[in-house]
């Protein structure tokens, strides 16, 4: 069994704690929302193959978030800093 499946909760909680600390957030909910937003914005700018290749290197919970509620569509153009 892959390590990332056996220790998914521990790995996810450690990642979320790092996000909270680095971003100065006060809750796991805020950290989750930030991570989800970044992953969705990134995913929307990739081809399907690029997104699947990227998902393969993510830990299990992040991979699940990355592909959740995915409506496959042509990639969006890169955004600006303001976007």
19-49 tens-digit pLDDT: 999 999 999 999 999 999 999 999 999 999 9
* CATH number among 1.10.490.110, 3.40.640.10, 3.40.190.80, 3.40.50.1820, domain 3-67: 1.10.490.110
Q: How far, in Å, CA of 60 to CA of 80, rounded?
A: 30
Rounded to whole angstroms, what are the CA distances from 23 to 10, 19, 43, 59?
Answer: 20, 6, 21, 20
- Judged against a pLDDT cut of 80, whether residue 57 lies above it is answered with yes
The half-sphere exposure of 35 on its side-chain side, counting CA atoms within 13 A, is 25
Structure tokens that stand for 12 in this block = 């996810």
Q: How confident is the model at residue 4 (pLDDT cuts 50, 70, 90)?
A: confident
Q: How far, in Å, CA of 32 to CA of 78, rounded?
A: 23
User: What is this structure's pTM?
Assistant: 0.86
């Amino acid at each position: 069994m892959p390590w990332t499946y056996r220790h998914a909760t521990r790995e996810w909680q450690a990642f979320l704690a790092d996000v909270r600390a680095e971003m100065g957030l006060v809750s796991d909910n805020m950290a989750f929302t930030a991570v989800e937003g970044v992953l969705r914005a990134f995913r929307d700018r990739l081809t399907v193959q690029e997104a699947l290749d990227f998902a393969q290197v993510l830990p299990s919970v992040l991979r699940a978030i990355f592909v959740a509620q995915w409506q496959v569509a042509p990639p969006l153009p890169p955004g600006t800093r303001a976007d």
